């Protein structure tokens, strides 16, 4: 998260730019807007999931399983790959979601080390119930002018 509220003014960046000749003031300004805007959207989504006893990561874990077309299950390592998060986080997230009855994991019959993780019917229902609100937050956020996003 990057929440610098008042981004540097153009003039401040020019000043830095004189001190640090290699720097590209326009690229920096654009990057800071990107970071700020992304963080604000993330904060809104986090609040949404927290309000539903979930988290961004737990939601995304369910999403990547749900969106598999030819398979019903993923291995923990596959989830970690698709989400670009560390494996311990997957372990912990799957444990929590399983306890909540949203996922189930069964030993892989073809690989004694692996577990196949699937959405339970309840998990599918919860995911389906969350998506409209998720899309609504995004649509609302993207419709706001960038400088009014915060």
Partner DNA sequence: TTCATATAGTTAGCATCCTAATCATAGGAG
Partner DNA sequence: CTCCTATGATTAGGATGCTAACTATATGAA
- Specify the DSSP class assigned to residue 115: E
DSSP string, 31-92: HHHHHHHHHHHHHHHHHHHHTTT--HHHHHHHHHHHT-SS-SEE-HHHHHHHHT--HHHHHH
Min separation Cβ 139 and DNA, Å = 23
Q: Of 2-61, which residues contact a copy of itself (CB under 8 A)?
A: 2-6, 8, 12, 16, 19-20, 22-24, 27-28, 30-31, 34-35, 37-39, 41-42, 56, 60
For residue 105, which phi and psi values (nearest 5 degrees)?
-130, 130
Decide which of DNA, a copy of itself, none touches 93; Cβ closer than 5 to 8 Å per partner kind. DNA
**# residues contacting a copy of itself (CB under 8 A):** 46
Taking CB under 7 A as the rule, does residue 76 contact DNA?
Answer: yes
Taking the C-alpha atoms of residue 44 and residue 121, their distance in angstroms, rounded to an integer, is: 27
> Is residue 118 within the footprint of DNA (CB under 7 A)?
no
Candidates 22, 112, 132, 145: give the one binding DNA (CB under 7 A).
Answer: 112
């Amino acid at each position: 998260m990057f929440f610098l509220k008042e981004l540097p003014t153009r003039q401040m960046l020019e000043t830095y730019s004189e001190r640090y000749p290699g720097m590209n003031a326009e690229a920096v300004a654009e990057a800071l807007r990107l970071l700020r805007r992304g963080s604000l959207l993330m904060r809104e989504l986090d609040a949404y999931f927290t309000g539903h006893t979930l988290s961004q990561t737990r939601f995304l874990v369910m999403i990547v399983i749900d969106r598999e077309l030819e398979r019903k299950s993923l291995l923990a390592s596959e989830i970690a790959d698709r989400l670009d998060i560390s494996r311990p986080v997957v372990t912990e997230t799957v444990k929590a979601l399983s306890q909540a009855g949203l996922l189930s994991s069964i030993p892989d019959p073809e690989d004694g080390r692996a577990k196949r993780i699937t959405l339970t019917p309840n998990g599918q229902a919860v995911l389906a119930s969350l998506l409209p609100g998720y899309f609504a937050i995004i649509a609302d956020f993207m419709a706001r002018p960038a400088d009014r996003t915060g």
